[in-house]
């Protein structure tokens, strides 16, 4: 029964999967360290599932890396209902889907994260996130929701405040 998932075709080099992969993004902009937001996917239609994997993400100032979804009106940067649990602590944010607690600078502790986005219905999107830091602190687990006005067409990786620049890491999105 589980071979159900196999043999449905995929982009060359990605194995047999239903996922379509976006480009691997160098968050540092080839070392320029000058970019505050990267569009990972655009022109989407009829998508039900998105996953974003970030490796060694880092910023040049205290801020929080955030995933933003967008529709024809642009990217949404408010009204997210995001909760994060880390060890015995927790936090809440409305500025994006996050995988780490707010107010903690990541410039000295590059981290990795998986953002899993699911379309529920009527442009309601649910996010489940998992994050970790190379400094060995506890795994972060997150859950969030966001309702768009119209169909999701694009996603970006940016920050909650929108001011810090990426100075480390790569990110890639896949969708189906």
Q: Which residues bind another protein (CB under 8 A)?
A: 1-2, 4, 8-10, 18-20, 46-49, 81-85, 88-92, 118, 120-122, 124, 126, 128, 141-145, 176
Is residue 24 within 8 A of residue 170, CB to CB? The reply is yes
Q: How far is the CB of 142 from another protein (least distance, A)?
A: 6
Question: Which tokens hold the place of 8?
Answer: 């449905």
Residue 88 vs 135, nearer CB to another protein: 88
Least separation, in Å, of the C-beta of 149 and another protein?
A: 16
Closer by beta carbon to another protein, 24 or else 120: 120
Q: Which residues contact 127 (CB under 8 A, 6 or more apart)?
A: 67, 82, 97, 115, 116, 117, 118, 142, 143, 144, 145, 146
**Cβ 24 to another protein shortest distance, Å:** 19
CB-based contacts of 144, cutoff 8 Å, min separation 6:
80, 81, 82, 83, 97, 98, 126, 127, 129
- Residue 134, SS3 per DSSP: coil
Helix, strand, coil percent values for the chain (each to nearest 5): 0, 50, 50
Identify which of residues 38 and 81 has a Cβ nearer to another protein in the complex: 81
- As measured in angstroms, the least distance from the Cβ of 75 to another protein is 21
The nearer residue to another protein, 96 or 169, going by C-beta atoms, is 96
């Amino acid at each position: 029964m589980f071979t159900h998932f196999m043999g449905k075709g995929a982009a060359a080099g990605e194995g047999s999967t239903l996922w379509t992969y976006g480009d691997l993004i160098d968050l540092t902009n080839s070392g320029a360290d000058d970019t505050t937001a990267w569009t990972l996917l655009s022109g989407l239609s009829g998508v039900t599932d998105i996953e974003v994997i970030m490796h060694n993400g880092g910023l040049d100032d205290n801020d929080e890396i955030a995933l933003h979804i967008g529709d024809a009106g642009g990217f949404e940067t408010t009204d997210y209902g995001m909760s994060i649990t880390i060890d015995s602590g927790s936090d809440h944010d409305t500025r994006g889907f996050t995988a780490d607690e707010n107010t903690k600078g990541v410039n000295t502790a590059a981290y990795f994260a998986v953002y899993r986005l699911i379309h529920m219905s009527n442009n309601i999107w649910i996010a489940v996130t998992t994050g970790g830091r190379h400094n060995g602190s506890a795994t972060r687990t997150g859950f969030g929701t966001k309702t768009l006005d119209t169909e999701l067409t694009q996603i970006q990786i940016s920050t909650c405040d929108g001011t810090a620049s990426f100075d480390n890491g790569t990110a890639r999105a896949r969708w189906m």
